[in-house]
A = this chain, B = another copy of it.
Amino acid sequence: MARTLYDLAAADDKRRFSPYCWRIKMALAHKELEVETVPWRFTEKDVIAFSGQGRVPVLVDGDKVVADSWAIANELEDRYPDRKSLFGDVSAHSPTLFVANWVDGVLQPAIAQFILADIYAHLHEKDKVYFRESREKRVGTTLEKFCADREERLVQFRTTVLAPLRLALGSKPFLGGTGPTYADYAVFGAFQWARATSPFKLLEPNDPVAAWRERMLDLYGGLARNSVDYPV
């Protein structure tokens, strides 16, 4: 059965940088489900118009079309109940959504301050105007000013923003416990977003969060590690 994921790409077809698409690529590998990924750009709204909206990830699984990463994760969980659970247990479902919302509302906006200008540099020409206009409207200044003096904000990011993540990892290798779950993929997507587009070092090597990211990069035969990115 054909399974296709529309996956945000940079100028280079193989540079895939959407944090939300990374959640789903990791989730599909977790479920041991093969997928063909199709490079897609922000301005190719017509290509995914069949999904009823204009953003990726869009997963086409046989005759089923699903958009939105959380909806796709739940669809995979429901459609493939015999595969290893993405959430671990029903009791973890809401706390996992809480983590994903924290990534959307706190972690990704914090990382954006370091990488938005670097993302711009990697975009396909046809996406550059759209990206600059939409993001500058969102952040209220130019991409370059938004990312200026980023070194000065790094300590605060590492100590304050990452604190709940560092504490939650504690002595366990993954947010999911002994193995990764969707909570890990939701957080990891944000780091892949940065890694795919920016040489900026977000993490200190001795940070437990960095050790966790190494474990995530190793998963599924190095699925993420072998993607086009800036090794950090």
Contacts and interface: CB of A to CB of B under 8 A. Distances in A.
A174 to B, nearest CB: 7
A105 to B, nearest CB: 6
A110 interface: no
Instruction: Give how many copies assemble into the complex.
Output: 2
Given A89-B89, A102-B102, A94 B176 contact: yes
B92 A102 contact: no
A181 B101 contact: no
A116 interface: no
A91 to B, nearest CB: 2
Nearest to A174: B94
A198 B168 CA distance: 31
Given A88-B89, A90-B177, A102-B102, A167 B95 contact: no
Contacts of A170: 94, 97
Given A88-B89, A168-B101, A94 B163 contact: no
Contacts of A178: 90
Interface in A149-201: 160, 163-165, 167-170, 172, 174-178, 181, 183
A220 interface: no
Nearest to A179: B91
Interface residues of A, number: 33
A89 B98 CA distance: 16
Nearest to A103: B164
Contacts of A117: none
Interface string A68-108: 00000000000000000101111111111111011001000
B97 A181 contact: no
A191 to B, nearest CB: 16
Nearest to A166: B101
Nearest to A161: B105
Interface string A54-76: 00000000000000000000000
B93 A177 contact: yes
A92 B101 contact: no
A44 to B, nearest CB: 29
Contacts of A85: 91
Given A94-B169, A94-B183, A101-B167, 4 more contacts: A89-B91, A89-B92, A93-B177, A95-B176
